[in-house]
């Protein structure tokens, strides 16, 4: 967006949109770029109209409603949830098509994780530890945890770092500014301490979940799955808080509890079909990869390497996009909650989320 299309809050000078009802930074009420109680002259109105055309991703006034996870629409059955997820997917796709940088951190995350796990495998095979690592015997349990914990920790660090970059890009884009990878990288580096702390905590939770699952009953498996899903929701809620508010993990956990009133279970339930759509996309991608592989192999066995490359490309893109989709959902969720808290009144949800929950 060009500089002459930007507006600033009259109280804190933060960038705002032409359609904002309140400043997302300080929470002051606005009236087309001005304070609600400040008289607007004809010249002021004309200047706003000329310099600040309505952005594509405005916050829709018709979707003004107070933040409360328990009030998020969760009913309607399978097809309604799928429809909500599909609507949000289309909104996320529109954002990406208008700013290709939004998907770059997810691509870098997948690439770095592939290199990291490949390097770990090479080291374990080279040292002769791979066989013992994958063994299920009791004698190898200590070795398993000694290897698995640092690998898991570093994988979480990589994932959260690039997810943090995605949060920055989506937040910038939704506020009508040009999303830049350099700024996203600087923001992630500035908060690397909190991201590493979150990775440590996630590693501990994953270890506890694995211990609960063990080789026990179905009930233990369900309990482990509940732990995983609840913590995943918590991390995706805390990442926008860490990046957008620039605060350490301990404060981010407190803010997440404050903003979402401890209703993490409600938030998990209210994912408006995003998880469902992600699974559907992954299944379709897998079927497409297998289908084209069989087709090329039947055409000529010599095309099998090409089929493997195409299959890997299809699956990789879906993994990248579904990661971006989930991050976009929780970033919108945080912006809605934070804006409502700051304004102390019902506010509009960001358009991608507003369209999905309408």
Residues 116 and 27 in one domain: no
Pairwise CA distance, residues 175 & 208, whole Å? 39
Residues 48 and 145 in one domain: no
Question: Alpha-carbon distance 186 to 184, whole Å?
Answer: 5
pTM: 0.74
Domain count, the chain: 2
Count of Cβ atoms closer than 10 Å to residue 176 Cβ: 22
Alpha-carbon distance of 236 to 165, in angstroms, equals: 13
SS3 260: helix
Question: Are both 193 and 322 inside the same structural domain?
Answer: yes
Asked whether the predicted pLDDT for residue 36 surpasses 60, the reply is no
**Rounded to 5 degrees, what angle do the CA atoms 171, 230, 356 make?**
45
Q: Report the distance separating Cα 210 and Cα 225, nearest Å.
A: 10
Pair (15, 95) in one structural domain: no
One domain for residues 18 and 63: no
Length, in residues, of the chain: 358
Say whether pLDDT at 24 is over 70: no
pLDDT tens string 194-239: 999 999 999 999 888 887 776 667 777 788 888 888 888 788 889 9
87/9 same-domain check? no
Q: Are residues 96 and 23 located together in one domain of the fold?
A: no
Q: How far apart are CA 35 and CA 22, in angstroms?
A: 9
Q: Which residue range(s) make up the domain with 203?
A: 56-357
- Are 87 and 151 found together in one domain? yes
How many helices (H) and strands (E) in the chain? 13, 4
CA dihedral (194, 196, 202, 208) in degrees, to 10, reads -120
The reply to whether 137 and 215 lie within a common domain is yes
Instruction: Output 65 or 107, whichever has higher pLDDT.
Output: 107
């Amino acid at each position: 967006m060009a500089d002459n299309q930007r507006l600033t809050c009259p109280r804190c000078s933060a960038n705002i949109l032409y359609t904002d009802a309140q400043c997302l930074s300080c929470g002051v009420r606005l009236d087309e770029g001005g304070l609600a109680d400040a008289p607007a002259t004809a010249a002021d109105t004309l200047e706003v109209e000329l310099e600040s055309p309505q952005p594509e991703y405005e916050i829709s006034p018709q979707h003004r409603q107070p933040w409360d996870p328990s009030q998020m629409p969760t009913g309607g059955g399978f097809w309604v949830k799928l429809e909500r997820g599909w609507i949000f997917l289309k909104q996320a796709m529109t954002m990406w098509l208008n700013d290709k940088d939004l998907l770059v951190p997810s691509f870098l995350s997948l690439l770095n994780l592939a290199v990291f796990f490949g390097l770990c495998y090479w080291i374990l095979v080279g040292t002769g530890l791979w066989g013992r690592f994958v063994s299920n015997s009791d004698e190898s349990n200590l070795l398993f945890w000694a290897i698995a914990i640092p690998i898991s920790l570093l994988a979480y660090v990589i994932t959260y770092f690039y997810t943090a970059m995605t949060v920055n890009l989506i937040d910038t884009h939704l506020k009508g500014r040009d999303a830049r990878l350099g700024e996203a990288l600087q923001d992630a580096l500035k908060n690397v301490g909190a991201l590493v702390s979150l990775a440590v905590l996630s590693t501990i939770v994953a270890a506890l979940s694995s211990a609960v699952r063990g080789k026990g009953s179905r009930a233990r498996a369900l309990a482990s799955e509940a732990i995983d899903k609840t913590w995943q929701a918590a991390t995706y809620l805390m990442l926008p808080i860490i990046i957008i508010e620039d605060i350490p993990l301990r404060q981010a956990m407190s803010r997440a509890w404050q903003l979402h009133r401890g209703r993490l279970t409600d938030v998990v339930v209210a994912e408006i079909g995003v998880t469902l759509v992600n699974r559907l996309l992954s299944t379709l991608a897998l079927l497409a990869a297998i289908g084209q592989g069989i087709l090329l192999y039947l055409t000529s066995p010599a095309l099998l390497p090409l089929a493997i490359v195409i299959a890997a490309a299809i699956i990789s893109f879906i993994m990248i996009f579904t990661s971006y989709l989930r991050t976009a959902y929780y970033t919108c969720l945080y912006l809605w909650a934070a804006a409502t808290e700051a304004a102390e009144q019902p506010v509009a949800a960001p358009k991608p989320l507003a369209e999905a929950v309408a």
